[in-house]
Amino acid sequence: MTYLTVYTDSEEPETLLESEDAAEIAATLKEIDVVLRHWQVVEDLPPGAGQEEILAAYREQVERVIAEEGYTFVDVAQLHPDNSADWPERAAAARQKFLSEHTHDDDEVRYFVSGSGIFYLHVAGKVHAVLCEGGDLLSVPKNTTHWFDMGTRPAFTAIRFFHDDDGWIGDFTGSPIAARIPDFDTIAANRAARAS
């Protein structure tokens, strides 16, 4: 289930909204032209399923999005903890990649098959931190300033949609804002505290 936190983008960010209400989240994101949809999660995908298997399980939904929005390239990105010696290093490097504010020439469209991650959308003086989980399909329009945090223990499987195969290269703004907004681990802890 999605969890949205909205902050001011000031030197000392204030929290404007925290919500787990699907309708409220969709309406809030619509105001900044970001579309959040939900697909039924396919429950019988085996753990460790590869790209072909995952795309086949969601073929109907994926084809509908491609037809409606003209994407030409779809793949699956996955990151899950393993016992290899280099996992902490790989996890930290993957997290760092898009942890600073950037834009893309293409839309950033992700369907979370499982796991979670936070997209931070910096628009009109506010930062919308959208914690996505299995079942969430988020469409961030091209040129939207944003960053992504998968946390210090990344675990997710996501289907990605592209209009061309280099549209997702990041154009970094150099803004330090990402450092002063609560990170994935902090927001996940906030949410757990609210739920208990």
Per the annotation, binding residues for Fe(2+) are 102, 104, 108, 146
Which candidate, 163, 190, 156, places its Cα nearest to that of 78?
Answer: 156
Segment contacting Fe ion (CB under 5 A): 32-40, 59-67, 74-82, 104-112? 104-112
Is the Cβ of residue 98 or residue 184 nearer to Fe ion in the bound state?
Answer: 98
Minimum separation from the CB atom of position 169 to Fe ion (A): 9
Nearest to 91 by CA among 136, 135, 155, 47: 155
The 60-99 site mask, x for binding Fe ion (CB under 5 A), equals --------------------------------------x-
- Whose CA is closest to 39, among 134, 107, 176? 134
Q: How far is the CB of 140 from Fe ion (least distance, A)?
A: 7
Q: Which is nearer to Fe ion, 108 or 149 (CB)?
A: 108
Q: What is the bridge-based pairing of β-strands 171-172 and 126-133?
A: unpaired
Residue 24's SS3 state is helix
At 95, list the tokens: 């997290």
The Cα 100–Cα 90 span in angstroms is 18
Binding residues for Ni(2+): 102, 104, 108, 146
Measured from the CB atom, is 58 or 162 closer to Fe ion?
Answer: 162
Q: Which residues bind Fe ion (CB under 5 A)?
A: 98, 108
